[in-house]
């Protein structure tokens, strides 16, 4: 007689409870608007969203780089913020969109893990995803809104991909493709690597499952995969058409900008801590189990292999593999996002580990795993304060904004020095334009692309390249109408003094000084061939957001009729004692 | 915005009625002085509305046709063309008149430049604009007295009539440096400006050098321009010395009329001096005794 | 068989990490740290300086008993808010000049990233063999120390009160200073066209000047516009002359028909202090074989000058400006303390130089 085990520790955690836990953990931090003060990129995303809020159908933004096209970055995340900003304001709208991402993540992890492991192990994987160090790192330190919102949509699309591959259900194809388009409309890089790192193991799994079920069914799986890939590719090509046009017109050919995530973490302890220890946290302890169990169970091997690839990529320049495989793209990409992808790929196996631990010693394991999860999350949050890499996104820029917006000062361009990631905050609220900006891929001005440095505001951190770039820009101040310079770091004072700028005002008890050059003419429009055509603006304003509305409609109107996750063989090897088995 | 709109409507009505049929008539004076009240005689009978539209004033009142309309002094403070319109039951009638500036009461006095080298010909430009107490430019010719006074030098006075409200004069800078008081006046109204007459380039620049151990003290005589005016303090004098170790240069500002430096020189040296493009003398100094 | 894949993954991962460590310079770094050759000893020392690991760098000195640790640190990290305090050692090239069994001389070209741009500094370092490794015999830092004293300073200062926004339009204002470009000479170099010359403040008040040049093509249309940037003394006291230099990269003389010069001046508050003597100026050849004009700067005032820049103008036999070069001084100019300077110039220009003049531009923190 089959007897159900009713122990709390041997039952799956309900997804609703996991979502609630995600809300409890992340909502307070987001309501406190932590990312605006602690992250590198939150202000950047808010700045992009602000432009859409004011110019929905015009992606040409003159506030940075003397003009750049926002079609160089998928718009959906920013457009959601823009829409919500009309009700909640820009900052809170950002937090809401981010909250959607972190709440959808455990749901996505659960559904993805369910492809590989039991419902119970999948629920543990989903719960652990709430406390992932890499999620905390990306959300509260890096501010990678697009990656963290796009990844859950990929994860949600994968079970439909599997369902389509296995059983050829049309509605699964439709939902899978639409969710892929939504994910791609949020972040292009996640699309590219997600397609390889997530879709490939699922394809292999479907192929293996199909062959195990029916002899010789592999070709049908491959055929369906081709259909899914073709539809997704066509959809992405159409939905993000202005992006492809801009990237083909202006491929990224600038001199590579150094990034710490491309370093060898063994040669720099701080980088190792920042990009390995903190994002993985207690997952590092589970690495041997992930590899051994992943290798032992044939069904988990595709997952293991692609986890390993993502893991190696997440190590940046610690191994030569990413550089060899990516070529020049290695110098353009940043690699912290691969840590998230690796962790998400590992979670199903980690769910198995937790399942086994709970079966062996329920109370001890539950306490141990909880402490490990919370410690991982706490380490990632605590690292923001102990890390040598500090952000100043929370800096008060009101006086700077007020100066620029009064007395016709916005007739000229400006730059900031020493403002770090507070620059987008200035740009969001001022009517004046800058030649600087925080989005390296969109830069076309030679003074910025030829030196191998990123933002002018952080020039000193890029050493000689940064200061050369700054000098080049200051030399051409008259050409760009660059009259005002706001300095939040006295390091830059000597250069400005020798180069002909004069200090004219001081704000915030001397923390910020304003420098001006008298012979600079008012800024004029800089002609560019990168300005998108009006029809591109129209497409950009309609298709990505349309995809997301269509996805919501599909979810509401076409419910999942068949659970695609009902047939999952056990991922526990035969010789491992089985303490509980699911009833199918 | 709303007021501007009403103003234009009134102006349009007035202009139309000037050429249209007249049920009532207005007889304003041809010319009125700004800030003076006056009466406008009317013909016709019955109640009407009177409008007065000027360059920056407008007024409206209910009047009785046939009686004189009293226009208050405050309604005609700006010089220019005014249109008086009266609208009764039989239609509107308009008439134009001019308000001219009142008696001169203010001077706007532009003097350029604020600094001028001594002896410069026609270097000072003084322009006076005559206004009444309501800031109307007084177009009637008025005599403006220009007076330039420099300490220890005879004053220069000239009297010129205004032309369309403006009088101007070009003056030579005197040979004597120092502040020149430039005054424009009409009766009791006057405006003062100060033009600094400054020394020209240094002239006959001379130095003397005295050795003190390993250093040489070099000092200029009082630096003056060719008119004998002392060159202002702060003017840079460049000392150049050449000795066995090479060349030594010092840019030193003049303080209290002279510039002085201590130069570390070994052995014999040749020392020269310059200020701007003006060269001075050259002295040779022997080695350490 | 089951564990083969796991073992393979562990092995390949370790292999990749090991290869990455070697290719990223981990092995080279370990070798350098051993300081088994004179060159490695200097490299190890400079690597420690680069990472601000002063204790380890100090331990690598052969003569650390003769050098105070803080003096060594100040020698390399600067003091008195000098340019060196605004600098970081970004890289270095090291090559041996002379080597024997117990002593060697190694030349190091230090690439500094500074607040005013990149600066290179060449040093010849003696290296000694001590025990199993080599150690650097660091030249004893000659850090200036100003004795306690009172330096009477009676300097001049100009303050400016301009017409306020609430003043009547007829209210008198102060005029901008009169400045004049007294010479202009276009010089063609292999990679650029350079406009050289001098500008004088003809007025009796200080002027803040910027010189811009616009190149006009054969149709009198503007081709390119550049400014003097930091190759000029922007603050000119009355009758002060400054050289200026405007570079047009990638342009040839034959491409242009004329040059439109534009000198913008404005009245600014200024001080006549400090007075800086430039002594011992002479043309010679430096250790790298380049022609340089070198000398000493002496701050005759009582306040330190944090950062000084020398601007040298070179004339030919006709008194024409044929070159302008500049250099920043990485030491602060303390009162009455001479500091060495050198600015280089091309060999072909050096052959034509008949005369030269050096002016000093300065920056003092808090006085910008």
Q: What is the CATH number of the domain that holds C245?
A: 2.60.40.10
In a domain, C11, yes or no: no
In a domain, C2, yes or no: no
Q: Please give the tally of structural domains in chain C.
A: 3
The closest CB to that of A468, out of C118, C225, C368, belongs to: C118
Residues C288-308: tens digit of each pLDDT: 788 999 999 999 888 889 999
For the beta sheet containing C192-201, the strands, ordered from the edge strand earlier in sequence to the opposite edge, are C179-189, C192-201, C241-249
Give the chains touching B; criterion: ≥3 Cβ pairs < 8 Å: C
Residues of chain B with pLDDT under 50: 1-2, 6, 16-22, 289
pLDDT surpasses 70 at C315: yes
Query: Choosing among B183, B234, B252, which should be mutated to test the C contact, i.e. which has the most C CBs within 10 A?
Result: B234
Q: Which residues in chain A have their CB less than 8 angstroms from residue C5's CB?
A: 295, 301, 304
**Cis omega (within 30 of 0) on the bond before A560?**
no
In a domain, C152, yes or no: no
**Residues 6+ away with beta carbon under 8 Å from C288:** C122
Give the chains touching C; criterion: ≥3 Cβ pairs < 8 Å: A, B
Q: Among A221, A25, A263, A291, which residue's Cα sits nearest to residue A135?
A: A25
Interface touch C204/B198, C-beta < 8 Å = yes
Distance between CA atoms of C298 and C339, rounded to whole angstroms? 7
Q: How far is A83 from chain C (nearest CA, A)?
A: 42
For residues C186-203, average pLDDT:
94
Residue C38: helix, strand or coil by DSSP? helix
Distance between CA atoms of A420 and A406, rounded to whole angstroms? 24
Both tokens assigned to C114? 């500074």
Q: Among B193, B179, B136, B186, which residue's Cα sits nearest to residue B161?
A: B186
In a domain, C148, yes or no: no
Interface touch C282/B246, C-beta < 8 Å = yes
pLDDT tens for chain A, 584 residues long, are 444 556 676 788 999 999 999 999 999 999 999 999 889 899 999 999 999 999 999 999 999 999 999 999 999 999 999 999 999 999 999 999 999 999 999 999 999 999 999 999 999 999 999 999 999 999 999 999 999 999 999 999 999 999 999 888 999 999 999 999 999 999 988 778 887 899 999 999 998 888 877 656 678 889 999 999 999 999 999 999 999 999 898 887 777 778 888 989 998 889 999 999 999 999 999 999 999 999 999 899 999 999 999 999 999 999 999 999 988 888 888 898 899 999 999 999 999 999 999 999 888 999 999 999 999 999 999 998 888 887 887 889 999 999 999 999 999 999 999 999 899 999 999 999 999 999 888 888 999 988 888 899 999 999 999 999 999 999 999 999 999 999 999 999 999 999 999 999 999 888 999 999 988 999 999 989 999 999 999 999 999 999 999 999 998 888 776 554 454 555 555 554 443 333 33
Q: What is the pLDDT of residue B226?
A: 86
Interface touch A264/C20, C-beta < 8 Å = yes
The model's confidence at residue C234, banded by pLDDT at 50, 70 and 90, is very high
Contact of chains A and C by CB distance (3 or more pairs under 8 angstroms): yes
Q: Which residues in chain B have their CB less than 8 angstroms from residue C282's CB?
A: 245-247
**Residues 6+ away with beta carbon under 8 Å from A257:** A331, A440, A452, A453, A454, A462
In a domain, C316, yes or no: yes
Residues C6-25: tens digit of each pLDDT: 999 999 999 999 999 888 88
- Are residues C234 and C286 located together in one domain of the fold? no
Question: C271, C289, C307: which is the final residue of a domain?
Answer: C271
Q: Which residues in chain B have their CB less than 8 angstroms from residue C278's CB?
A: 248-250
For residues C166-179, average pLDDT:
76
Q: Which residue of B has its CA nearest to C200?
A: B276
- Are residues C267 and C283 located together in one domain of the fold? no
Question: C271, C300, C318: which is the final residue of a domain?
Answer: C271
Distance between CA atoms of A308 and A205, rounded to whole angstroms? 16
CATH number at residue C124: 3.10.450.100
Interface touch C230/A499, C-beta < 8 Å = yes
Interface touch B248/C280, C-beta < 8 Å = yes
Q: Which residues in chain A have their CB less than 8 angstroms from residue C212's CB?
A: 478, 519
User: Are C247 and C211 in contact, with CB atoms under 8 Å apart?
Assistant: no
Q: Is B139 left (phi over 0), alpha (psi -120 to 50) or beta?
A: alpha
Interface touch C16/A321, C-beta < 8 Å = yes
Interface touch B251/C356, C-beta < 8 Å = no
User: Are A184 and A236 in contact, with CB atoms under 8 Å apart?
Assistant: yes
Residues C96-126: tens digit of each pLDDT: 988 888 899 999 999 999 999 999 988 899 9
Distance between CA atoms of A449 and A469, rounded to whole angstroms? 8
The closest CB to that of C295, out of B115, B240, B246, belongs to: B246
Residue A16: helix, strand or coil by DSSP? helix
- Are residues C304 and C238 located together in one domain of the fold? no
- Are residues C260 and C303 located together in one domain of the fold? no
In a domain, C61, yes or no: yes
In a domain, C199, yes or no: yes
How many C-beta neighbours within 10 Å does residue A334 have?
16
Residue of A237 and C148 predicted with greater confidence: A237
Question: C271, C300, C333: which is the final residue of a domain?
Answer: C271
Contact of chains B and A by CB distance (3 or more pairs under 8 angstroms): no
Distance between CA atoms of C324 and C196, rounded to whole angstroms? 7
- Are residues C198 and C265 located together in one domain of the fold? yes
Give the chains touching A; criterion: ≥3 Cβ pairs < 8 Å: C
Q: What is the pLDDT of residue C157?
A: 86
Mark A503-516 as b/e (b = at least 16 C-beta within 10 Å).
beeebeeeebbbbb
In this prediction the ipTM stands at: 0.92
Q: What is the pLDDT of residue A561?
A: 60
pTM attached to this predicted model: 0.86
Residues B106-149: tens digit of each pLDDT: 888 888 888 888 888 888 889 999 999 998 999 989 999 998 88
Q: What is the pLDDT of residue B1?
A: 46
Domains in chain B, please, with CATH? 2-100 (2.60.40.10), 104-198 (2.60.40.10), 202-285 (2.60.40.1930)
- Are residues C328 and C266 located together in one domain of the fold? no
- Give me the domain span that covers residue C286: 276-363
CATH number at residue C341: 2.60.40.3230
């Amino acid at each position: 007689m089959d007897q159900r085990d009713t122990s709390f520790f041997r039952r799956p955690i309900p997804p609703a409870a996991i979502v609630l836990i995600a809300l409890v953990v992340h909502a307070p931090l987001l309501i406190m608007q932590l990312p605006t003060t602690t992250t590198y990129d939150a202000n950047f995303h808010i700045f992009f969203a602000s432009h859409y809020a004011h110019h929905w159908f015009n992606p040409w933004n003159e506030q940075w780089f003397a003009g750049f096209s926002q079609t160089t970055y998928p718009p959906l995340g920013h457009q959601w913020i823009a829409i919500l900003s009309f009700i909640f304001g820009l900052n809170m709208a950002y937090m809401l969109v981010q909250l959607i991402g972190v709440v959808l993540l455990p749901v996505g992890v659960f559904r993805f893990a369910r492809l590989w492991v039991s419902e119970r192990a999948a629920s543990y994987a989903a719960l652990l995803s709430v406390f992932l160090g890499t999620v905390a790192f990306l959300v509260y330190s890096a501010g990678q809104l697009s990656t963290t919102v796009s990844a859950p949509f990929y994860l949600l699309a994968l079970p439909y991909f599997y369902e389509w591959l296995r059983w050829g259900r049309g509605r699964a194809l439709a939902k899978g493709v639409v969710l892929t388009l939504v994910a791609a409309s949020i972040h292009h890089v996640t699309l590219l690597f997600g397609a390889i790192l997530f879709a490939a193991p699922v394809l292999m799994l479907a192929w293996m499952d199909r062959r195990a079920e029916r002899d010789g069914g592999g070709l049908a799986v491959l055929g369906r995969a081709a259909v899914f890939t073709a539809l997704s590719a066509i959809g992405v090509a159409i939905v993000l058409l202005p992006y492809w046009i801009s990237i083909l017109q202006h491929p990224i050919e600038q001199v590579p900008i150094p990034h710490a995530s491309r370093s060898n973490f063994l040669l720099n302890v701080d980088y190792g801590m920042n990009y390995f220890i903190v994002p993985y946290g207690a997952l590092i302890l589970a690495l041997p189990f992930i590899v051994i169990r992943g290798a032992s169970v044939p069904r988990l091997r595709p997952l293991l292999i692609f986890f390993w690839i993502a893991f190696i990529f997440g190590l940046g320049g610690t191994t030569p593999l990413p550089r060899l495989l990516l070529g020049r793209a290695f110098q353009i990409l940043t690699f912290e996002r691969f840590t998230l992808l690796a962790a998400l790929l590992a979670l199903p196996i980690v769910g198995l580990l937790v399942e086994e631990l709970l079966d062996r010693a329920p109370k001890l394991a539950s306490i141990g795993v909880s402490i490990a999860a919370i410690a991982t999350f706490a380490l990632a949050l605590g690292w923001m304060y102990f890390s040598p890499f500090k952000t100043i996104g929370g800096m008060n820029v009101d006086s700077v904004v007020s100066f620029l917006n009064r007395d016709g000062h916005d007739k000229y361009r400006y730059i900031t020095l020493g403002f770090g990631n507070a620059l987008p905050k200035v740009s969001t609220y001022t009517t004046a334009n800058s030649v600087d900006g925080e989005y390296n891929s969109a830069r076309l001005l030679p003074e910025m692309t030829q030196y191998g440095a990123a933002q002018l505001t952080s020039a000193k951190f890029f050493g000689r390249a940064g200061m050369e770039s700054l000098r080049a820009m200051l030399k051409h101040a008259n050409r760009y109408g660059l009259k005002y310079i706001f300095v939040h770091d006295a390091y830059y004072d000597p250069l400005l003094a020798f180069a002909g700028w004069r200090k004219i005002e001081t704000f915030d008890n001397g923390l910020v000084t304003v420098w001006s050059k008298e012979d600079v003419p008012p800024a004029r429009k800089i002609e560019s061939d990168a300005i998108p055509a009006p029809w591109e603006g129209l497409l950009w304003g309609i298709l990505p957001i349309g995809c997301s509305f269509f996805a919501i409609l599909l979810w509401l109107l076409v419910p999942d009729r068949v659970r695609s996750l009902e047939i999952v063989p056990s991922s526990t090897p035969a010789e491992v004692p089985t303490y509980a088995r699911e009833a199918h | 915005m709303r007021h501007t709109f009403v103003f234009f409507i009134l102006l349009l009505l007035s202009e139309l009625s000037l050429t249209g049929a007249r049920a009532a008539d207005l007889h304003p004076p041809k010319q009125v002085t700004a800030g003076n009240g006056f009466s406008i005689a009317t013909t016709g009978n019955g109640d009407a509305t009177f409008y007065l539209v000027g360059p920056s004033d407008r007024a409206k009142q209910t009047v009785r046709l046939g009686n004189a309309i009293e226009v208050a002094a405050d309604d005609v403070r700006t010089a220019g063309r005014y249109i008086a319109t009266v609208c009764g039951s039989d239609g509107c009638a308009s008439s134009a008149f001019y308000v001219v500036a009142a008696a001169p009461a203010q001077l706007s006095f532009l003097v350029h430049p604020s600094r001028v080298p001594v002896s410069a010909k026609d270097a000072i430009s003084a322009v006076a604009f005559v206004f009444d107490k309501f800031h109307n430019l007084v177009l009637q010719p008025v005599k403006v007295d220009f007076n330039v006074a420099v300490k220890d030098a005879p004053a220069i006075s000239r009297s010129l009539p205004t032309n369309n409200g403006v009088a101007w004069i070009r003056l030579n800078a005197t040979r004597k440096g120092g502040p020149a008081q430039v005054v424009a006046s009409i009766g009791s109204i006057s405006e003062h400006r100060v033009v600094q007459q400054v020394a020209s380039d240094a002239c006959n620049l001379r130095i003397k050098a005295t050795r003190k151990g390993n250093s040489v003290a070099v000092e200029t005589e009082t630096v003056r321009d060719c008119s004998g005016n002392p060159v202002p303090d702060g003017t840079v004098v460049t000392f150049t010395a050449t000795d066995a170790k090479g060349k030594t240069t010092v840019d030193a500002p003049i303080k209290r009329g002279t510039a002085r430096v201590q130069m570390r020189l070994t052995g014999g040296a040749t020392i020269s001096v310059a200020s701007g493009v003006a060269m001075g003398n050259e002295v040779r100094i022997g080695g350490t005794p | 068989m089951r564990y083969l894949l796991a073992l393979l993954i562990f092995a390949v991962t370790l292999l990749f990490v090991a290869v990455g460590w070697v290719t990223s310079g981990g092995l080279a770094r370990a070798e350098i740290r051993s300081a088994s050759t004179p060159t490695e000893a200097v490299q190890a020392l400079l690597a420690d300086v680069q990472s601000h690991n002063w204790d380890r760098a100090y331990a690598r000195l052969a003569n650390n008993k003769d050098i105070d640790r803080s003096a060594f640190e100040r020698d390399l990290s600067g003091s008195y808010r000098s340019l060196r305090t605004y600098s970081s050692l970004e890289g270095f090239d090291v090559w041996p000049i002379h080597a024997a069994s117990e002593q060697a001389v190694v030349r190091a070209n230090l690439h500094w990233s500074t607040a005013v741009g990149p600066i290179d500094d060449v040093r010849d370092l003696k290296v000694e063999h001590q025990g199993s490794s080599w150690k650097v015999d660091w030249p004893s830092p000659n850090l200036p120390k100003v004795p306690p004293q009172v330096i009477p300073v009676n300097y001049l200062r100009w303050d400016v009160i301009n017409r306020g926004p609430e003043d009547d339009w007829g209210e008198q204002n102060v005029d901008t200073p009169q400045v004049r470009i007294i010479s202009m000479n276009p010089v063609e170099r292999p990679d650029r066209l350079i406009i050289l010359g001098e500008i004088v403040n003809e007025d009796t008040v200080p002027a803040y000047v910027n010189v811009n040049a616009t190149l006009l093509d054969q149709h009198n249309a503007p081709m390119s516009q550049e400014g003097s940037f930091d190759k000029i003394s922007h603050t000119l006291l009355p009758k002060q002359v400054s050289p200026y230099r405007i570079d047009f990269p990638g342009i040839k003389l034959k491409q242009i028909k004329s040059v439109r010069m534009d000198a913008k001046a404005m009245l600014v508050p200024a001080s006549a202090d400090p007075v800086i003597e430039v002594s011992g100026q002479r043309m010679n050849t430096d250790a790298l074989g380049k022609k340089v004009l070198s000398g000493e700067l002496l701050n005759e005032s009582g306040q330190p000058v944090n950062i000084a820049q020398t601007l040298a103008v070179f004339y030919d036999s006709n008194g024409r400006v044929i070159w302008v070069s500049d250099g920043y001084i990485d030491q602060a100019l303390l009162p009455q303390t001479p500091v060495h300077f050198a600015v280089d110039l091309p060999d072909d220009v050096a052959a034509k130089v008949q005369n030269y003049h050096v002016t000093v531009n300065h920056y003092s923190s808090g006085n910008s």
